[in-house]
Amino acid sequence: MCKKTASGTLCCILLFILTTCFTTSFSVSAQSVRTISELKSGWLFIKKDVPNGAATTLDEKNWKQVTVPHDWAIGGPFSEENDLQKVQVTEDGEQSATLKSGRTGGLPYMGVGWYRKHISISNQHKDKKFYLEFDGAMSNAKVFVNNRFVGEWPYGYSSFNFNITSFLSFGKDNVIAVRLENFPEASRWYPGAGIYRNVRLVQSNSVSVAPWGTFITTPKISNETALVNIETSIDFTNETINQYSLVTSIYNHRNEKIETHTVAQANKKNIQNITIKQPILWTAEAPKLYYAISTIKKNGQTIDTYKTTFGIRSIAFTPEKGMFVNGNNTKLKGVCLHDDFGPLGMAVNKSVLVSRLKLLKEMGCNAIRGTHNPHTPEMLDLCDEMGFYFIDEAFDEWKSPKVKNGYHLIFDKWAQKDIEAMITRDRNHPALIMYSIGNEIKEQGEKDGAAVAKYLTKICHDIDATRPVTAGFNNMNQAIINGLADAIDIPGWNYKPEAYAKLHKEHPNWVMLGSETVSTVSSTGVYKLPAKTGAMKMWPDNQSTAYDLEYCSWSQLPDTEWKFQDNEYMVGEFVWTGYDYLGEPTPYGSKWPSRSSYFGIIDLCGIPKDRYYLYQSKWSTKKVLHMLPHWNWQGKEGEDVPVYVYTNYASAEVFINGKSFGKKTFIKENLLDRYRLRWENTKYEPGELKVVAYDTKGDIAETKVIKTAGQAAQILLKADKTTLIANGEDITLVTVNVIDKDGNLCPLSNDIIYFKVMGAASLRAVGNGDATSLASFEIPQSKAFYGKCMAYVQSTKSTGTVLLKAWGKNLKPTIINLKTVK
């Protein structure tokens, strides 16, 4: 339960993860008690409205074969006319409405699209039950089976399922049809289009565990034992209840069965309490998982099995000391993430998500806020497995609109259903620590806003009382005056670091959370002179400086947030954002061709920006030494080119061609020297820029060198993994560096790089992190952006050798060897 004590401590004894067991085949077995078939291949798609699109017989010759997950818009073309919005963004300080050309990415996501899939199920399965599960479909989904309307779900980010048993024709061809429609001015960022998440057909006996039918909590935990409470909901359909038993077995991370409990006469809802001896507790640092197998039996025969993965851990939030996990004080070092995949658009790919989370983990990040909507189930699965705390966020909009065709149009009818879907799907994940009911919602400024906040908070508590409810408030004073901050468990503050101390003093029972922070903007490899700190400047090339000195009028630098986070009462922060994302190209929202964000610590295609190493030096336990900028400044000889060093060594010294420019240490009293080392008066001359780092004893600990690069001569390829799984989905991200004959990065190169993949893989996408590029992600070439770009190589279902060849005009061809295995 989540409850506030008299002292204001918010205590939560928490839970842990629900997921069913997935199979990759579609064949339905007569012997299997539960078969889960991924519906990936064999879909037909057409990008237009078809009056009889759900018909069982239809001329499909003009329909395109696609694989789900599928984003129909990511192939482009980009255009400033796509979803051109005239809007006043008051959060950005705008005094009047302006045209926003790249607000939703400049991609053609609007309109109607139809999907169809043919399936056949034999007569021997007439007594089975069939559910169709969608992890998400963008948007306004209407689902049909055999030309009969099954159901709808308008919110494109929600997961949903339908019982389609009565709609099926056994022994005959069946047609699943899905109509989707995306309206213009329905989003503030790129929402994607199509069946962009996974779809499954679940077959079970008529008596089975209900979809998302388990709820596992651990109300009592000690070093010796943990009490595991399991609530299991059973769908009996028309069967007699007293004929069935429920057997639940718990397994540890080594797949060893450790406990079993039986309910001799199962009911629709069943409560089991099982004691685990010597429990291994889950944390982000050591994410050890358990799983429960729920087995329904009739006269000793197995009728259904259902797998629920969970973790054992406790969490508490206190106004004085922040967050405690298993009794240990823990600071959230988090990032906000939209759920697009850069060059893949919104089409879910688990292997790419793994790569993204690995980079964040190596940076020292330990938490994700899933903004501003429910994320794909794979995100929560991986947070459990890899070790991240997670905030599940429901909405960006309540009843008062931000965009013309936003969520406000369906709030009254669907808000409760969407929150219930999010929570019942996710409430068993150990990574999940809070539910967020909204982000920067307009109701902050309305007198009845607190009533809406209370309504949504109650829904959350009714379904899961073990986790606190939060929201991201940017209109701080109004959120307090109108009672929204008091209506939820933990008020989250967006871009208010200077107010933390005042808020803590005036509201001593509030837990203090930086729900959205920083919003510094930068472009990979782009350094603007002079290096000045301040609100973001509009540069002629639509880029932002990589010196990490530019921020929004309403936001701050990382240095400012850290200064105020260094208080023991702070729970932590969630930086906007971990990765660049499609859409919202602040500050160039009205200046085409910008079509993606500049906020990311890592760019759109997956290349870390300099800021990545600033966060790594602060957040991680690794020793970090990173120097910027590049050292190719032809025409700037003898002029000041500032040198910055991001490090967690005690001090560092910069040399140019052997000449020292002095040793520097951190200066706590000066904000920009508190977490960075800066040499503002270094004079450029071609040659060698070197930094030497020293430990606390003054001994040399590490050295880094950047040399003035010569003419671009060759290509260096580096894959984040060289072995792929031959499942037709596994992707490796191959970073491309344009280098000179001596191996130095050519930091100004904009050479066109051509790609060819040979063997058991294909080229899925390309990208270069340039927010102004209008080139398709789906062609086999990419311009280098300040010397770098990226290729996404995807496995086929065949095993064997894979060769990726890259070349360019006057650049020596390069090949990297990969392979696919079962």
Please list the active-site residues: 440, 516
The Cα 351–Cα 358 span in angstroms is 11
738, β-bridge pairs: 715
Q: Are 68 and 195 in contact (CB under 8 A)?
A: yes
CB-neighbour burial class of residue 805 (10 A; exposed 0-12, middle 13-18, buried 19+): middle
Return the axis-axis angle of helices 558-565 and 610-619, rounded to nearest 10°.
10
Hey, what's the torsion of the CAs at 580, 582, 583, 588, to 10 degrees? 50
Say which amino acid occupies 405. Answer: N
Q: Where are the alpha helices (DSSP H) in 507-652?
A: 558-565, 610-619
Q: Are 270 and 220 in contact (CB under 8 A)?
A: no
Non-local CB neighbours of 819 within 8 Å, separated by 6+ positions: 722, 723, 724, 760, 799, 800, 801, 802
The Cα 213–Cα 269 span in angstroms is 9
Q: Are 217 and 271 in contact (CB under 8 A)?
A: no
Half-sphere CA count of 478, side-chain side, radius 13 A = 14
Q: Where are the alpha helices (DSSP H) in 464-557?
A: 476-481, 484-487, 500-506
Q: What's the DSSP call for residue 821?
A: E
**Peptide bond connecting 302 to the previous residue in cis, omega within 30 degrees of 0:** no
Please identify which residue in the block is written with the tokens 């959205």.
516
Say which amino acid occupies 639. Answer: E
Q: Are 442 and 91 in contact (CB under 8 A)?
A: no
Name which of 73, 28, 103, 33 is nearest 581 in CA terms: 103
Beta-strand pair 800-808/811-821: antiparallel
Q: Are 754 and 784 in contact (CB under 8 A)?
A: no
The Cα 605–Cα 560 span in angstroms is 28
- The number of beta carbons lying within 10 Å of the beta carbon of residue 491 is 24
Token pair for 220 = 């009592």
Rounded to the nearest 5°, which phi and psi values hold at 111? 105, -170
Say which amino acid occupies 548. Answer: D
Q: What's the DSSP call for residue 24?
A: S
Please state, in angstroms and as integers, the Cα–Cα distance from residue 40 to each residue in 48, 535, 576, following that order.
21, 46, 33
Q: How many helices (H) and strands (E) does the chain have?
A: 10, 51
Q: Are 797 and 726 in contact (CB under 8 A)?
A: yes
Please give the full DSSP string across 671-691, using - where no structure is assigned: HHHHS-EEETTPBP-SSEEEE
The Cα 57–Cα 153 span in angstroms is 25
Please give the full DSSP string across 38-59, using - where no structure is assigned: E--SSEEEESS--TTTT-SS--
For the four alpha carbons of 163, 165, 166 and 169, in that order, the dihedral sign comes to positive
The Cα 247–Cα 234 span in angstroms is 12
Number of residues that make up the chain? 822
275, β-bridge pairs: 227
Please give the full DSSP string across 678-739, using - where no structure is assigned: EETTPBP-SSEEEEEEE-TTS-EEEEEEEE---S--EEEEEES-SEEETTTT-EEEEEEEEE
CA angle 611, 381, 465 (to 5 degrees): 100
